[in-house]
Amino acid sequence: MTPALPAPRWPWAVAAALLIALALITPVNHDEDQYLAAANLVSRGLRPFGDFMYLQTPVQPWLLAPVAWLADGWSFIALRLVSAVAGLGTLALVYAAQRRAGVTPRHALIATALCGSCVPFLFGMSLARNDALPALLLAVALWAAARGRTLDWGVAGLALGCAASIKISYGLPLAFGGFWLLWQAVRTQSVAPMLAWGIGGVIALLPTALTWAAYAQAFEYGVFRYAAEGAKIWYDLNGIGDRLSLAAKLRDTGVALAIGPALVALIVLLFLRRDDGKKYRAFVITLLVAGVVAAILPTPTYRQYFLPVLPPLFVALGLAMPLGRWPLRIMAALGVAAVAVYAGLGVADAVRRGPAAWCVTSQAHWIGAQAAGPIVTFSPTYVVDSGVPLDPRFATGTHVWRSGDLRSDAELGAFKVTSRRTLARELDARPPGAILTGFEGASGVNRRIIPDEVLNDWARTNGYRAVPTPYGGMLWLKR
């Protein structure tokens, strides 16, 4: 049974209020486009990889499609709140895993609070991306394994298999945990935990395997090949290829861990070198190592990639307590500063431009009153709640368009996407009812090639009428 939350209960109320507030005010991140679009398209009966391109393993759109359907017209807010709830659940399970493993309520609460104050955590839990649900499932695995019965290992394998079916990088914790249990089986001659883990993992991966079998070419491109080639070509074209270097990776890794207590926590654990013979501690450290590897493998390296590091890191920190006063004070100060800066930036943006939840939703409703579908845009976030269908060829926002020229015309057609080479031809063949631009302009990654300028030029050439939107975009309507 999951232990009851500790007295006082107010830290949990504060955490819930903070996560909900951040979900409502955090500025839009353009990576939200494909996840919001996918949930919306699946809610309309379309299939990932079959009817539109998706760039991750496919389970999240299926899980969130009912939410998008029930919250029709308000799905941006609903899906962000799902992330906030998943964040609170992740913290509760990080706490519960420590309590199951014998950590005192006070120490478990301290480690959990430190976990929740890391910027990768705050970022992942305040956006409608695919970060929150797999982190919650990782925390489920840590909680289940803390008791260590055969069924618990099955639950842990099932949870991490589901996480890998939502975000491919969680396949590494699943694999590392399986190899660790194999090693334990060799040492102890007890194979039941390993078999339970494997059965759970296989069951959870079945939907992904069946999707792969059904749409092999599109699946392999979206899940594997795009990640290997997409960023490199776009960064090179825009003169920022240096961001893909090893030096940039080391810098980005250090920054992602240093904006909060994570880096200090890692250093503390490294120097403690505590080995009390507990099997659970060794398992947690194994998942921690897997999380670090999963975070640093992709190039370029982004802060959200370090979310798989945090639950095992702070469970391990709780297991290592009590610590000295100064390490805790330093981590607490870093955590408070990280929350203050991250929340402060969100508040400042909300004061300047309005809360993201209100701006996106009200603009979508305005678009719905003006436009006929389908709508073409590189910014699906602003369209999904309009009630006007999104053109499925643009389900990934700018992502595939930026590097799609590496694929043949036949492949692009099979994947149901466009590229810089084929965009005008595709739009000529199937003109949209409306085009939305204004949210993929010049930026840190769009320095030489501006995606929205391409759509603006086509709309202007083909006689569409430009109507400014309430929050900074441009809606192109047929005359």
Lowest mean pLDDT among 256-265, 291-300, 317-326: 317-326
Among candidate residues 370, 368, 359, the one with its CA nearest the CA of residue 467: 370
Contact (CB, 8 A) for 297 and 289: no
Q: Which amino acid is at 415?
A: F
Tens digits of per-residue pLDDT, 207-216? 999 999 999 9
Tens digits of per-residue pLDDT, 339-368? 999 999 999 999 999 999 999 999 999 999
**Mean pLDDT, range 183-200, rounded to an integer:** 92
Contact (CB, 8 A) for 372 and 388: yes
Please provide residue 436's backbone torsions phi and psi, each rounded to the nearest 5 degrees: -110, 125
Grade residue 2 by pLDDT with cuts at 50, 70 and 90: very low
Give residue 221's pLDDT: 96
Grade residue 7 by pLDDT with cuts at 50, 70 and 90: low
For residue 282, how many other CB atoms are within 10 A of its CB?
A: 13
* Matching residue, tokens 């702070």: 314
Bridge pairing between strands 375-377 and 465-468: unpaired
- State yes or no: pLDDT of 1 exceeds 50: no
Q: What is the pTM of this model?
A: 0.94
DSSP letters, 167-178, are -GGGHHHHHHHH
CA–CA gap between residue 378 and residue 178 (Å, rounded): 40
Grade residue 435 by pLDDT with cuts at 50, 70 and 90: very high
Contact (CB, 8 A) for 183 and 192: no
Q: How far is CA 471 from CA 75, 357, 360, 391, 438, in A?
A: 18, 12, 8, 22, 9
Q: What angle do CA 176, 38, 427 make, to 5 degrees?
A: 130
Q: How far is CA 407 from CA 300, 397, 400, 414, in A?
A: 22, 17, 10, 11
Three-state secondary structure call for residue 59: helix
Contact (CB, 8 A) for 226 and 34: no
Residues 6+ away with beta carbon under 8 Å from 172:
290, 291, 293, 294, 297, 308
Please provide residue 38's backbone torsions phi and psi, each rounded to the nearest 5 degrees: -65, -45
Residues 6+ away with beta carbon under 8 Å from 71:
77, 78, 79
- State yes or no: pLDDT of 442 exceeds 90: no
Q: Which amino acid is at 250?
A: L
Give residue 252's pLDDT: 92
- State yes or no: pLDDT of 274 exceeds 70: no
Give residue 54's pLDDT: 97
